[in-house]
Amino acid sequence: MKHIKVFLVDDHSIVRQGFQSLLSREEDIDVVGEASGGEEAIDKLKTLRVDIVVMDIQMKPINVLITAERMLRQYPKVKILILSMHEDSVSIRQAIQLGVSGYLVKSTVTTELLRAIREIYKGNAYFSPSVQKILIEINNRVDQKQIALTVRDQELLEMIGLGKTNKDIAAVLCISIKTVEKYRQHLMNKPGIHDVAGLTRYAIERGILKL
């Protein structure tokens, strides 16, 4: 069994201990390190193999989103899951634009953290239901160029967001795997997105997918 390697970043030791206790009960998850701040986390990541960084957005005095941007730039294979006490639309929008793989409101952490970690590890994105609603509202408010999506585009987006493989999609749509690959590439080219997590975020923003 492959173990998901998680790194915890929170400036409250009691919070880190709580997450450590929760995650240590899971056979497929290992907490490989922790830090009380962004600089410490970035430094420790140099010597650790980490799949997912779970990071509290309220840490002081650093700007966590700047830290997230640095992490993603220096360690592009690492996925970031942001935790927040509040549903701040500005922070949510900025985090999504940076490319974080998940955003959870802390009131839902006990029920959603494990699912979020596992979904992100599989290459999907994960957002609390309340965060999804805010993403849709942001998308509706912003005066942006709407990319025309066909019915087939929307079907494909939804299935990719649900974690379906090319083989699964081919079977559902009754087309060849090669055709699915072409559709997927064409779809990624439209919004300029190049990974599954990005497509999932895009599907949520467009209101196509509700996790």
State percent of the chain over pLDDT 90: 36
Same domain membership, residue 74 and residue 42: yes
Site of tokens 């700007």: 63
Final residue before a domain boundary, out of 100, 127, 154: 127
**Closest among 170, 159, 79 to 116, alpha carbons compared:** 79
Range of the domain at 188: 141-205
Residue 132 lies in a domain: no
Give 153's pLDDT tier (boundaries 50, 70, 90).
confident
Final residue before a domain boundary, out of 104, 127, 150: 127
pLDDT score recorded for residue 182: 83
Residue 194 lies in a domain: yes
Site of tokens 């997590």: 197
Q: Above 70 in pLDDT, residue 91?
A: yes
Same domain membership, residue 113 and residue 20: yes
Same domain membership, residue 107 and residue 146: no
Cα–Cα distance for residue pair 115/112, rounded to 1 Å: 5
- Cα 48 to chain centroid distance, Å, stands at 21
pLDDT digits (tens, 9 = 90+) for 177-188: 888 888 888 777
Same domain membership, residue 101 and residue 45: yes
Residue 135 lies in a domain: no
Measured between its terminal Cα atoms, the distance across the chain in Å is: 26
